[in-house]
Structure 1
Amino acid sequence: MAGVPSPFRSRKPKDPAPAHARIRVPVERAIEHCRVFVDGESLPGEFTPATAQDTVDEYGRGFIWVGLHEPDEHQMTSVAEEFRIHELIVEDAVQAHQRPKLERYDDQLFVVARSVNYRDHDEVIDKRQIISTGEVQMIIGHNFIITVRHRAKLPNLAYTIGDDQDLVELGPVAMAWKVLDMLVDRYGEIGKLLAIEVDELEEMVFTPGSNFEIDRIYMFKREVLEMKHAIAPLSDALSAMISNHKDLISKQLRSYLRDVNDHELVVKDEVAHFDERLTSLIDASVAKVSMQQNADMRTISAIVGMWAAPTMIAGVYGMNFDKMPELHWAWGYPFAVFLMVLVVAVLWFWFRKNKWL
């Protein structure tokens, strides 16, 4: 299958530079680790893909774990040729920007998951950095697993779980399960942090007389949507790993994957709930702002009304007519002032009674 031409090859723009002018970065620059596991134990030292293959062939058992970090086409093609990886997988691994999914190519599985990282909103300058996502791709064969990460922060799992002999004995799929389990656990941790933020926003919005920033609610709404889009499709991939491909995934590992899927579904529902709550908060915030504006307008109208009454009285008594009542009255001025104060007092009492002030 590796020799079948890809239908997407003709769609790629050709490199305008001549072949001899292209700079090819050695494949070793993209390899983070290349280890060999035999009989549940990690063999000492690092390997190249070629020497790792020779070692596994020599033992007649075991598997290889290669970790790659953002390989380019040349680097990924070199590794693919060593492990006979389908060229469609190579194309996806180089381009990245894949949604979580599971695909099978003959006896190989290609799994894509998204990593999610959270930073407190007070720690970032660009508010779009609160939730950041990366991509983790796993190519699983009979005696190898290749992990490819793009903007994803992962510990060096080949070393951290190399001492877990029971897990290593289960083969490459067990390593993939461990990566997925770690990613989903991180989803849960971020879900707890988001729950605290959403609770604070709710308290801020619904506390009487509080000043709140609706922009902050929109900001978290956008970040929660980004996380939702990153993790939601993973449940379909996990379900496919549980239900299908039983010739490649043992019953025991399917049980482990089922547990990961359960945790992922819980986090998925939580994030969807956060999205709904934030939508409700936006609606409540808009309603609260509108009510506050209406109250402010009533207060302003009441004040303008109280100022208008004295102005009207002063306007009447300021007209230049010879024959006007009280025009030459000695108590005319005190009476006009008293009338103004009386009218303002009556209006103030009426507005207060109707809660306009």
Structure 2
Amino acid sequence: MLHAYVAGKRGLMRVDQDTPMAPGPQISDALWVDLYRPLDSQIAAVEALGVEVPTLADMEEIEISNRLYRDDGIDYMTVVVPGQTPEGRHVSGPVTFILGPKRLITVRHHTPRSFETFPDRADRATAGCSTPDRIFLGLIDEIVARQADLLEGIGRALDAVSARVLGNVTQDELQHALGEVGRQGELLGRIRLALLTLERTLSFYDQTLVAGTGTKELHGVVKSQIRDIGSLSEHGDFLSSRVSLTVDATLGMINLAQNQTVRIVSVVAALFMPPTLIASMYGMNFNNMPELNQPWGYPMAIALMVGSAVGTWAFFKWKNWL
């Protein structure tokens, strides 16, 4: 899909080539062109503007020189942010920002929520949305804010899991809690990767920002965003330690529950050991066992077995092992 936006009265106004929302605007007039899983025809339409659109394989290159570079006065910056696939699966995927003097072009193959919410409130961003540079910084600001929301959600989820784990729960509930902590830890890892790539991208953009009208203001916005990312990174480190602590607590509670089960089995086995010894003695095939021929032999054996079990139980109780 291809979405093109121009500056409107409030936020950004979407331009449709087939049915323009306002007479005149076309893709060539757009300040922001968003390519989502683009078709070949859509890629050709954007490349006709003099911009090379990277493929998904190019975007997934991990070398920093392939993710952040300038070509013919146009900045190519790739970040990795959490989002959803068309099937609804949560993933982290690359998003490439192609920033030129006339427009911003974004290329993505998944759906970060920030791209859906930003157009309606672009005018409320710190940098505004009057130029491609300001749209870029506003979109980065929206992405950073989304990561902050996700971190807060992880914190709330960990609070809920900790309350359940430290309460009176069953072993099945503990296993469910362990799975929930694992999912939150995986999401936290995706967020920390996003913050790392965003910080690198902003540093690169700040170094390549050409001096001009409003440049000082944009430098200030970039510095503020980098500070925000640093704060979120520290919060992510804190949540990472909480994830480890919650995992340890959950595994400890599971071990305690399992130990309780093993303890009960061990006690039951210990209670039956003396009666089993007595029964095995009278199961021996010896000729000289006078009790076998006495009428009180069977009741005596039963009494010995019951008495030995009761004595073992009383001993365990005295030792506070039960």
The TM-score normalised by the length of structure 2 is: 0.76
- Residue 327 (structure 1) shift: 3.8
Which one of 189, 196, 205 corresponds to residue 241 of structure 1? Answer: 205
Which one of 144, 148, 161 corresponds to residue 201 of structure 1? Answer: 161
Give the paired residue count. Answer: 302
Q: Is 1:150 aligned to 2:100, yes or no?
A: no
Q: Is 1:69 aligned to 2:36, yes or no?
A: yes
Change (3 A) 1:256 1:287: same
Tell me the distance in 2 between the aligned counterparts of 1:95 and 1:189: 30
Q: Which residue of 2 aligns with 1:47?
A: 25
- Superposition map of 1:88-237 within 5 A: 90-92=53-55, 96-97=59-60, 102-117=68-83, 129=89, 131-152=90-111, 153=113, 154-155=115-116, 157-158=118-119, 160-161=121-122, 167-169=128-130, 171-207=131-167, 210-211=170-171, 212-213=174-175, 214-237=178-201
Structure 2 regions of 5+ residues with no counterpart? Answer: 14-20
Change (3 A) 1:277 1:166: closer
Deviations 1:39-80 (A, max 9, x none): x99894462234x3xxxxxxxxxx733333322455324323
- Residue 356 (structure 1) shift: 4.3
- Superposition map of 1:266-277 within 5 A: 266-277=231-242
Task: Look up the SS of the partner of 1:76 in the other structure.
Answer: helix
Tell me the distance in 2 between the aligned counterparts of 1:189 and 1:296: 41
Contact kept? 2:199, 2:229, Cα under 8 Å: yes
- Residue 277 (structure 1) shift: 2.6
- Residue 228 (structure 1) shift: 2.7
Contact kept? 1:33, 1:158, Cα under 8 Å: no
Change (3 A) 1:45 1:167: farther
Amino acid at match of 2:189: L
- Residue 344 (structure 1) shift: 0.7
Tell me the distance in 2 between the aligned counterparts of 1:151 and 1:216: 24
Structure 1 regions of 5+ residues with no counterpart? Answer: 1-29, 53-62, 119-125
Tell me the distance in 2 between the aligned counterparts of 1:46 and 1:333: 108
Deviations 1:250-279 (A, max 9, x none): 110121222222222222333333333323
Deviations 1:263-313 (A, max 9, x none): 222223333333333234334444443444344333312211211211221
- Residue 352 (structure 1) shift: 3.5
- Superposition map of 1:281-296 within 5 A: 281-296=246-261
Q: Which residue of 2 aligns with 1:12?
A: none
Contact kept? 2:82, 2:190, Cα under 8 Å: no
Tell me the distance in 2 between the aligned counterparts of 1:300 and 1:318: 26
Relative to structure 2, which stretch is displaced further, 41-50 or 347-356?
41-50
- Residue 208 (structure 1) shift: 5.8
Deviations 1:169-222 (A, max 9, x none): 4x2211111101111111111111111111222333344665301333333333
Change (3 A) 1:67 1:291: closer
Task: Look up the SS of the partner of 1:142 in the other structure.
Answer: coil
Change (3 A) 1:66 1:162: farther
Tell me the distance in 1 between the aligned counterparts of 2:190 and 2:120: 31
* Structure 1 consecutive aligned stretches of length 4 or more whose deviation exceeds 6 Å: 40-43, 163-166
Q: Which residue of 1 aligns with 2:226?
A: 261
Q: Is 1:316 aligned to 2:274, yes or no?
A: no
- Residue 168 (structure 1) shift: 3.8
Q: Which residue of 2 aligns with 1:123?
A: none
Q: Is 1:350 aligned to 2:315, yes or no?
A: yes
- Residue 145 (structure 1) shift: 1.9
Task: Look up the SS of the partner of 1:233 in the other structure.
Answer: helix
Deviations 1:329-355 (A, max 9, x none): 443333322222221112112333445
Change (3 A) 1:157 1:306: closer
Contact kept? 2:34, 2:105, Cα under 8 Å: yes
Contact kept? 1:70, 1:94, Cα under 8 Å: no
